[in-house]
């Protein structure tokens, strides 16, 4: 499981050292990771074979020619880059993905279970604050619903 948050600096060739914990989890048909533009946020999404299999499973459930299937194929498969680790555990991020999300110096690598995201540092700070607020509000609503359900069961 990809967990934790790491700040990393891109070098002049757009290389980033992938955290050792992430390299170990990304094992698959080649020694590296896959990355593509995230569908849910303005960042790069990445992972290994498990992530790819998960998205392929979602895509395969849809009928050929379904507009959503086509959109997912274009966004994920068409935007995907395979990046192999060098001897220092680095990958070179594609120039197009770096340009798309303003990645030029410091980036944040965020573990999200079976995937991770790579963010421009300041953009991630704003995203993290919004996510914390959403999590806080959502958890409060969930707890209120659970209390209401328990109160209804006891009546």
Query: Is pLDDT above 90 for 136?
Result: yes
Angstrom distance (rounded) from CA 41 to CA 107: 15
Compute how many other C-beta atoms are within 10 angstroms of the C-beta atom of residue 96: 11
The DSSP-derived string for 40-75 is SSSSEEEE-HHHHHHHHHHHHTSPTT-HHHHHHIII
CATH 3.40.1550.20 assigned to 5-121: yes
Query: Is pLDDT above 90 for 115?
Result: yes
Query: pLDDT digits over 19-76, tens only?
Result: 888 888 876 666 789 999 999 999 999 998 888 999 999 999 999 999 999 999 999 9
Backbone angles phi and psi of 98, in degrees to 5 = -65, -45
Angstrom distance (rounded) from CA 94 to CA 101: 11
Backbone angles phi and psi of 139, in degrees to 5 = -65, -40
In the chain, what are the domain boundaries? 5-121
Question: pLDDT class for 11, splitting at 50, 70, 90?
Answer: very high
Query: Is pLDDT above 70 for 92?
Result: yes
Q: Taking a C-beta distance cutoff of 8 angstroms, is the pair 118, 43 a contact?
A: yes
Record the pTM.
0.86
Mean of all residue pLDDT scores within the chain: 92
Tell me the two tokens of residue 56.
């392929």
Q: Is the dihedral of CA 56, 68, 3, 48 positive or negative?
A: positive
Q: Which helix (H) or strand (E) holds 76?
A: none
């Amino acid at each position: 499981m990809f967990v934790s948050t790491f700040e990393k600096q891109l070098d002049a060739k757009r290389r980033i050292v992938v955290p050792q914990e992430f390299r170990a989890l990304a094992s698959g048909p080649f020694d590296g990771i896959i990355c593509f533009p995230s569908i849910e946020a303005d960042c790069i999404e990445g992972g290994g074979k498990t992530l790819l299999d998960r998205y392929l499973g979602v895509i395969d459930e849809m009928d050929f020619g379904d507009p959503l299937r086509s959109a997912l194929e274009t966004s994920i498969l068409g935007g995907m880059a395979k990046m192999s680790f060098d001897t220092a555990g680095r990958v070179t991020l594609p120039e197009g993905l770096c340009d798309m999300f303003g990645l030029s110096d410091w980036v944040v690598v965020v573990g999200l279970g079976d995937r991770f995201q790579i963010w421009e540092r300041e953009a991630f700070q704003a995203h993290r604050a919004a996510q914390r607020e959403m999590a806080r509000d959502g958890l409060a609503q969930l707890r209120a619903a659970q209390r209401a359900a328990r109160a209804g069961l006891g009546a």
